[in-house]
Structure 1
Amino acid sequence: MTLVQLAADAELSHPFLSQLERGLARPSMVSLERIARALGSSQLELIAAAEQTGEETEVAATVVRSGEGTRGHYAEGEARMLVQGIRRFHPMEFTGANESFGDYFVHDEDEFLHVVEGAVEVDLGPQGVVTVLPGDSLYYGGGTPHRWRSVAPGGFRLFVVKEKPKHL
């Protein structure tokens, strides 16, 4: 994807993205969200990728303690990355309390979610809406439009595993 294509998809100016790329500007959270959505990713994944350098992590095992892991905005909630380094999968802990659906997310990567606490309705676009309760899991393939909301006040906590976007 060229900067011109990304600028059009993110509804941002090409000169602004060029400045970002060269480290001459910093994106607002709104701009970062637009860029992430245009790339089929999330703010959190972009931030985590910016913190990493080099090739895929060669170490067979790593530990991320409960107070560790990159944290940030993800969809209508907050998430914490549960791995360090460049990995093939992006497991994360996601918490949210939104009782209304936000915008659809669509990305090329498959995604798996498991409900730890609360109950969630997942709108899968043309495939319909499914309610996922504590202990339930849901898997959907890349290209599936999806968005989540809490079934009841009090919010929810999910374990989400997404394939690493090819561009990160």
Structure 2
Amino acid sequence: MTLTQVAVQAELSHSFLSQVERGLERMSMTSLFRVAQALGTTQQALLTDDADAAPRGAGSFHVFRASEATPLDAGGSPMRVLARDHPRFVPMVMSGTFTEDLWWVHDEEEFVYVLQGRLVVVLEAEEFALEAGDAVYYQGGIRHRWRTDPGESVQVLTVKEGSAGAH
């Protein structure tokens, strides 16, 4: 699939995707979601795919160092992916503010733990206010969105199921 075809299917401009590809622009989580859908994959697969990584055998491990982190832009909220190389699960730390203007639906299961602040999670028609120390888990296929109170920020640890090929 060409960059132009991805841009059309993701409803993003070709020039924007070209700038992202060259490292001149950063993609929001919303844009990443659209690109993943256009490519028939997931955000997690795009964030954790490292073609140069050596295969990891049974009993292997990886220590994540904060100095190794390359923050991503999650729609105005910085995000760090804490594991790579096609893990069975993808832990991420997200910080900032969230608005509920977009519903998310994905196949992967998701666990969200509030580290600091307050996060309102809407699952289908139910709304839950989570404070620091609270958590929520939901299966794939559940329509959801997040929001923070106006002027407030939050820090969350999110763990998502890895891509199907990771298992």
TM-score, normalization by structure 1: 0.71
Counterpart selection for 1:138 from 136, 139, 145: 136
Q: Distance in 1 between matches of 2:70 and 2:27?
A: 19
Report the counterpart of residue 165 of structure 1 in structure 2: 163
Q: Residue by residue, what CA displacement relative to the aligned partner does 1:22-65 show, whole Å, maximum 9, x if unpaired?
A: xxx938656953213544633x752431x344575325221111
Q: Distance in 1 between matches of 2:148 and 2:12?
A: 31
Alignment of 1:62-73 (within 5 A): 62-73=62-73
Q: Judge conservation of contact 2:100–2:146 (CA < 8 Å) in 1.
A: yes
What fraction of aligned residue pairs are identical, expressed as a percent?
Answer: 30
Unaligned residue ranges in structure 2 (runs of 5+): none
Q: Distance in 1 between matches of 2:81 and 2:149?
A: 24
Structure 1 residues 52 and 64, CA, compared in 2 at 3 Å: closer, same or farther?
farther
Moved over 6 A (4+): 5-8
Report the counterpart of residue 26 of structure 1 in structure 2: 21
Q: Residue by residue, what CA displacement relative to the aligned partner does 1:54-111 show, whole Å, maximum 9, x if unpaired?
A: 575325221111222342123552210111322111001111223x313112110000
Moved more, 64-73 or 83-92: 64-73
Q: Residue by residue, what CA displacement relative to the aligned partner does 1:124-161 show, whole Å, maximum 9, x if unpaired?
A: 2x342211111000000001122211135330000000
Unaligned residue ranges in structure 1 (runs of 5+): none
Structure 1 residues 114 and 102, CA, compared in 2 at 3 Å: closer, same or farther?
same
CA RMSD of aligned residues (A): 3.5
Q: Distance in 2 between matches of 1:145 and 1:55?
A: 36
Structure 1 residues 12 and 155, CA, compared in 2 at 3 Å: closer, same or farther?
closer
How many residues matched?
155
Moved more, 143-152 or 105-114: 143-152
- Aligned to 2:157, the other structure's residue is in SS state strand
